Amino acid sequence: MKKEKRSLFNMVFGKKKQNKVLENTLKLLSGFNATYTNISDNIEDNIIAKQCIHTIATHCAKMMPRHFKQNGEVKNHIQGDIDYIISIKPNPYMTIYDFIYKVISILLAQNNEFIYIDIDDKGYLRGLYPLNPLFCTLVEDNEEIWLKFQFLNGNIYYAKYDRVIHLRNFYTKHDFYGETNETLKSAIETQIVADDGIKNAIKISASLRGVLKASQSMLKDEDIKEMKNNFIESLLSSTDGIGGLDARLDFKEINLNPVLLDNEQLKAVNGNIYGYFMLDEKFIKSNFTAEEWNAFYESVLEPRAIQMGQAFTNAIFGEKAIKQGHRIEFSVNRIKYAKTETKISLIKEAGALGLLTVDEGREILDLPAVGGEEGKKRLQTLNVINANLADKYQGGKENEQSGEGN
């Protein structure tokens, strides 16, 4: 029995064939093209850009997405189907780490990323799929905005804009899409030239260059070629790197001194690419301090967490659910990369005020939880008193009224 080949396209979008053919391109206020393509943005071919994208995507993939419901001042973690999909298994083929890593990588490389929201017949969330279409066109149908996705294999799928989580970077000029990475190309070209210069310098320094001169005044081209080949063969076949010449030939070495960028100039060239991604080379090499980590968190990770939380919330929940307090939030453990001294200081200060439980304190130190009632106990020092009891403790009004002093 012949096995039927399964199509990933059908697994994501369903086997039911779409009968839509929407060619009414949406007219934009900015006058820009309604079609987006990823053909021209190949910045990941550059090793520095790829290192930057990988570093940011790796740290973003450590984020913990959660479904919360805000009830007044209390925020409750809702551990239902939505929370399971966004925090553990977004689709049958990816872990949440893989999912976030892919989403951020495409977003940084192309400044646009589309996540398809798979909803079942009853209207419940079934999965999330990051897409990487070759073309994406904004089209209109009955005053609704749709996206026409065209993939590399020729498949086409139409999705309502509100059924897609659209993340964008450098969102300034276009009404819907983030800008391209055209401004980065000049920095990448300069870096490539500098890198090629180093490669060529290595090749030149490892090779022997010069002019082979014969004492005879008139020689045929064939004779010159033969003398050259004989000399090269003598040099290459020598185990000590010394070639032989007879009295008729004279070899004069040509010393080429290629001009290379010094370390400061090379740092400046690479720094233009690092700066574009708001990174420092220290993060590529994982050689950063707690202060530098906090700066990286506030300038790079936190904005992504806010962006993704808002985008996921608006796309997954309806207006009614959002007004009822439902939210998707992406959080990053800022304390994890702090120094041990900083962690201990935090536990002392926060624990003294009763802000931490035993298990929360152990988690900060990367220790396993105790669990049970012991783990839920709050850390607190006897030097801190309930504000409502402060007057009584210090001999306040009650003592004054009763005529008692301290």
pLDDT one-digit tens code per residue, 312-342: 999 999 999 999 999 999 988 766 666 778 8
CB-facing half-sphere around the CA of 318: CA atoms within 13 A: 4
Banded pLDDT at 80 (limits 50, 70, 90): very high
pLDDT one-digit tens code per residue, 30-44: 888 888 887 766 788
Give CA–CA dist 7/15, Å, rounded.
9
Strands 326-331, 135-141: pairing kind: unpaired
Banded pLDDT at 264 (limits 50, 70, 90): confident
All structural domains of the chain with their residue ranges: 8-181, 339-395
Give pTM, 2 decimals.
Answer: 0.77
Q: Is the pLDDT of residue 293 over 70?
A: yes
pLDDT one-digit tens code per residue, 93-137: 999 999 999 999 999 999 999 999 999 989 899 999 999 999 999
The residues facing 378 across adjacent strands are 357
pLDDT of residue 1: 45
pLDDT one-digit tens code per residue, 175-221: 999 998 988 988 888 877 776 666 665 555 555 565 556 666 666 66
Residues contacting residue 237 through CB under 8 Å, at least 6 positions apart: none
Q: Is the pLDDT of residue 160 over 60?
A: yes
Q: Is the pLDDT of residue 256 over 60?
A: no
Q: What is the mean pLDDT of residues 261-270?
A: 73
Q: Is the pLDDT of residue 142 over 70?
A: yes
Local structure of 212: helix, strand or coil: strand
Q: Is the pLDDT of residue 141 over 80?
A: yes
Helix, strand, coil percentages for the chain (3-state, nearest 5): 45, 20, 40
Q: What is the mean pLDDT of residues 238-252?
A: 58
